[in-house]
A and B are shown apart, each in its own frame.
Chain A
Amino acid sequence: MLNYIIRRLLLTIPTVIGVCLVTFLLFNVFASPEAVARKQLGKNPTKEQVKTWVTAHGMDKPMFFNFKPGKDGSIHPFDSRFWNHMGELLLFRFPKSDYLHEKVSDLLKQKIVPSLTITVPAFLLSLLSILPIALFIAYYRGTYIDRFALFICVILMSIVILNYIIFGQYLLAVVFKYFPIYGYDFGVGAWKFVFLPVILSVAAGLGGGVRFYRTVMLNEVRADYVRTAMAKGVSEERILFKHVLKNAMIPILTVTVLSIPFLITGSLLLEIYFGIPGMGNLMLNAINNHDYPVIRTLVYIYSLLYIGGSILTDISYTLVDPRVAFE
Chain B
Amino acid sequence: MEEILKIENLKTYFFTGEGVARAVDGVSVGIEKNKILGLVGESGCGKSVTALSILRLIPSPPGRIVGGKITLSGREVLCLPEVEMRDIRGKLASMIFQEPMTSLNPVFTIGTQIMEAVRTHTDIGQSKAREIAMEHLAKVGIPTPRERMSQYPHQLSGGMKQRVMIAMALCLKPALLIADEPTTALDVTIQAGILRLIKDLQAESGMAVLLITHDLGVVAEMADEVAVMYAAKVVESGPCETIFSSFCHPYTEGLFKSLPGRTQRGHKLYTIAGMVPSALRFPPGCRFHPRCPLAIGKCRVDEPPLVRIAAGHWCACWVRAGGVDRYDA
Residue numbers of A with Cβ under 8 A of B are: 141-142, 223-225, 227-235, 243, 246-247, 320-323
Contact = CB atoms under 8 A, between A and B. Distances in A.
A142 B97 contact: no
A224 B152 CA distance: 16
Contacts of B121: 233
Nearest to A235: B86
B105 A247 contact: yes
6 contacts: A224-B97, A232-B90, A233-B90, A247-B107, A322-B107, A322-B154
Given A141-B61, A224-B97, A232-B120, 13 more contacts: A142-B61, A225-B103, A227-B97, A229-B105, A229-B116, A231-B95, A231-B169, A232-B90, A232-B94, A232-B116, A232-B117, A322-B106, A322-B152
A225 B60 contact: no
B88 interface: yes
Size class of B's contact patch? Answer: 20 to 34
B157 interface: no
A141 B61 CA distance: 9
Contacts of B117: 232-233
Interface string B32-67: 000000000000000000000001010011000000
A246 B61 contact: no
A246 B86 contact: no
A230 B97 CA distance: 12
Nearest to A223: B102
Given A142-B61, A323-B152, A323-B154, A232 B106 contact: no
The winner among A141, A223, A234 for most chain B CB atoms within 10 A is A234
Contacts of B60: 142
A225 B88 contact: no
Interface of B: 55, 57, 60-61, 86-91, 94-95, 97, 99, 102-108, 116-117, 120-121, 152, 154, 165, 168-169
Contacts of B102: 223-225
Contacts of A243: 105, 108
Contacts of A141: 61
A247 B106 contact: yes
Contacts, number: 72
Given A231-B94, A232-B120, A224 B99 contact: yes
A323 B152 CA distance: 8
A28 B116 CA distance: 64
Nearest to A225: B105
A87 B165 CA distance: 60
A322 B102 CA distance: 15
B165 A228 contact: yes
Nearest to B56: A230
Nearest to A228: B103
Contacts of A231: 55, 57, 89-90, 94-95, 97, 169
Contact of B107 (A232, A233, A321): A321
Contacts of A232: 89-90, 94, 116-117, 120, 168
Contacts of B169: 231
A273 to B, nearest CB: 42
Contacts of A227: 57, 97, 103
A247 B105 CA distance: 8
A230 B108 contact: no
A320 B102 CA distance: 18
Contact of A323 (B55, B95, B99, B106): B106
Contacts of A247: 105-107
A75 to B, nearest CB: 61
Contacts of A323: 106, 152, 154
B85 to A, nearest CB: 8
A235 B86 CA distance: 7
A233 B108 CA distance: 17
Contact of B88 (A142, A223, A233): A233
Given A322-B152, A322-B154, A323-B154, A230 B57 contact: yes
Contact of B104 (A142, A228, A233, A321): A228
B63 to A, nearest CB: 11
Contacts of B61: 141-142
A2 B102 CA distance: 32
Most chain B beta-carbon neighbours within 10 Å: one of A225, A243, A246: A225
Contact of A225 (B87, B104, B152): B104
Contacts of B168: 228, 232
A59 to B, nearest CB: 56
Contacts of B89: 230-233
Pick the 3 closest A-B CB pairs, nearest first.
Answer: A142-B61, A233-B89, A233-B90
Contact of B120 (A223, A234, A321, A322): A234
Contacts of B57: 227, 230-231
Contacts of B152: 322-323
Given A224-B99, A227-B103, A246 B116 contact: no
B83 to A, nearest CB: 9
